[in-house]
Amino acid sequence: MPVLVMKFGGTSVATTDRIRRAAKRVGVEVAKGYDVIVIVSAMSGETNKLVGLVGETSPLYDAREYDAVVSSGENVTAGLMALTLQEMDVPARSWQGWQVPVKTTSAHSAARIEDIPPDNITAKFAEGMRVAVVAGFQGISPEGRITTLGRGGSDTTAVAFAAAFDAERCDIYTDVDGVYTTDPRICDKARRLDRIAFEEMLELASLGAKVLQTRSVELAMRYNVKLRVLSSFEEQSDDAGTLVCAEEEIMESNVVNGIAYSRDEAKMTLISVADRPGIAAAIFGPLSEAGVNVDMIVQNISEEGRTDMTFSCPTDQVLRAEKALQEAKERGDINYHDLVADTNVAKVSAVGIGMRSQSGVAARMFRTLSDEGVNIKVIATSEIKISVLIDRKYMELAVQALHDAFELDKSA
């Protein structure tokens, strides 16, 4: 029988009533003839609570025990979901990660799935079980310890199961009804997309659109898993939600399909550093060792052998960045006059695979911002994305203006 993967996020399993609602949807797919693998998150708020308990107990915790504790929220929902399905006369069984087994690396709290042997679950399907309810977010390391996949990791569990079982589709049920052209909370013209290409979704997810864990989109792209994002709170038709798929499966597409933003960016400038071979390595090496996620980088024209170097990173990494650079200066590896951090900036990005073949997108973006009187501080581009750093107070204005300029309220 064909296999379907259905993933329910924390808000969709927040109470026993909601679990019942989710189970009914599973029942509908079972009635259509699918064997279903249900991946569940912890009830909403549970994982945060568990993370808090670990911190209270041991500030510099052992990562193996952190995983043992925070993975437990999913065990509860997996059992409850299996019980609910059984109450509805659907043959169902729950599985924790290690029972499947979901084999992962031993990078605790950020493990990667390496293999999911399908045999155990497939054998149960052959015996008449119709639904395998699997606890998301967790696996087992080569050492036999419980691991977790990083926050939001149940999405990745779901996609990995879809790939391992060659599922027809992977449906991600959540509290929004799909992927939008931008955040509807700051732009009332935001429109739900029927389809979005993997590459675009990957950019949007890593730019801060929180609907899917970035890693899950990477995996879906690699294994060509058809991913659908849809609401568990609305009645669903077969074409509900947003399909994340290969670009060949999208007939018509706008040049720009999404405007993303990120509020918590900081701009850091090293003033007057010696411009010599190796200087970038001497600056960005220590930053990377300190775990600073540098995003945009600009090196100015140098005058008399000295230059300014500007980069952006998340606001909560500014202190770490300052410390790493200060230490490099004290060691004599780099030399600068001053280090200036500007934490009142935001990043706004336009994303679209159409940019590959259409020119003028950057010019249109810059013109739009200039018409609104918004000054651009840093620019970065990739093949399908243009990002700018601007004053945070103009962020919403910029998102709305760009949404209008690229006519994202109209479908292609």
Is residue 73 at the binding interface for ligand ASP, with CB under 6 A as the rule?
yes
Kindly tell me which of 206 and 254 has the beta carbon lying closer to ligand ASP. Answer: 206
Q: Residue 77's binding partner, choosing from ligand ASP, Mg ion, none, with beta-carbon cut-off 5 to 8 A by kind?
A: none
Residues between 1 and 40 that touch Mg ion (CB under 5 A): 9
Is residue 77 at the binding interface for ligand ASP, with CB under 6 A as the rule?
no
Judged by CB under 6 A, the stretch of 152-160, 171-179, 222-230, 345-353 that binds ligand ASP is 152-160
Nearest distance in Å: CB 65, ligand ASP = 17
Nearest distance in Å: CB 75, Mg ion = 18
Torsion of CA 119, 120, 126, 130, to 10 degrees: -120
Q: Quote the CA–CA distance of 107 and 121 in Å, as a whole number.
A: 26
Q: Quote the CA–CA distance of 368 and 374 in Å, as a whole number.
A: 9
Q: Residue 42's binding partner, choosing from ligand ASP, Mg ion, none, with beta-carbon cut-off 5 to 8 A by kind?
A: ligand ASP
Q: Which two tokens stand for residue 281?
A: 């390595």
- Work out the burial of residue 89: count CB atoms within 10 Å of its CB; fewer than 13 is exposed, 13-18 middle, 19 or more buried: exposed
Is residue 241 at the binding interface for Mg ion, with CB under 5 A as the rule?
no
Residues between 151 and 190 that touch Mg ion (CB under 5 A): 152
Nearest distance in Å: CB 73, ligand ASP = 6
User: Cβ(90)–Cβ(27) under 8 Å?
Assistant: yes
Q: Residue 8's binding partner, choosing from Mg ion, ligand ASP, none, with beta-carbon cut-off 5 to 8 A by kind?
A: none
Among 139, 153, 178, 354, binds ligand ASP (CB under 6 A): 153
Residue span 370-399 as binding mask against ligand ASP, x where in contact by CB under 6 A, dash where not: ------------------------------
Is residue 41 at the binding interface for ligand ASP, with CB under 6 A as the rule?
yes
Q: Quote the CA–CA distance of 208 and 127 in Å, as a whole number.
A: 43
For 335, the 3-state DSSP assignment is: coil
Judged by CB under 6 A, the stretch of 30-38, 87-95, 151-159, 166-174 that binds ligand ASP is 151-159
Kindly tell me which of 10 and 286 has the beta carbon lying closer to ligand ASP. Answer: 10
Q: Quote the CA–CA distance of 124 and 358 in Å, as a whole number.
A: 51
Q: Quote the CA–CA distance of 325 and 343 in Å, as a whole number.
A: 17
DSSP 228-280: EEEESSS---TT-SEEEE-GGG-SS--S--EEEEEEEEEEEEEEEEE--TTHH
User: Cβ(142)–Cβ(106) under 8 Å?
Assistant: yes
HEC string of 53-64 equals HHHHHCCCCCHH
Q: Residue 97's binding partner, choosing from ligand ASP, Mg ion, none, with beta-carbon cut-off 5 to 8 A by kind?
A: none
Q: Quote the CA–CA distance of 314 and 294 in Å, as a whole number.
A: 8
Is residue 154 at the binding interface for ligand ASP, with CB under 6 A as the rule?
yes
Residues between 116 and 155 that touch Mg ion (CB under 5 A): 152
Nearest distance in Å: CB 71, ligand ASP = 9
> Which own/partner pairs from 17-20 qualify as long-range (CB within 8 Å, at least 24 positions apart)?
18/232, 19/77, 19/80, 19/81, 19/84, 20/84
In the complex, which residue's CB is closest to Mg ion?
152
Q: Any idea how long the chain is?
A: 412
Binding residues with Mg ion: total (CB under 5 A): 2
Q: Residue 27's binding partner, choosing from Mg ion, ligand ASP, none, with beta-carbon cut-off 5 to 8 A by kind?
A: none
The residues of the shown chain that bind ligand ASP, judged by CB under 6 A, are 9-10, 41-42, 47, 73, 136-137, 151-155
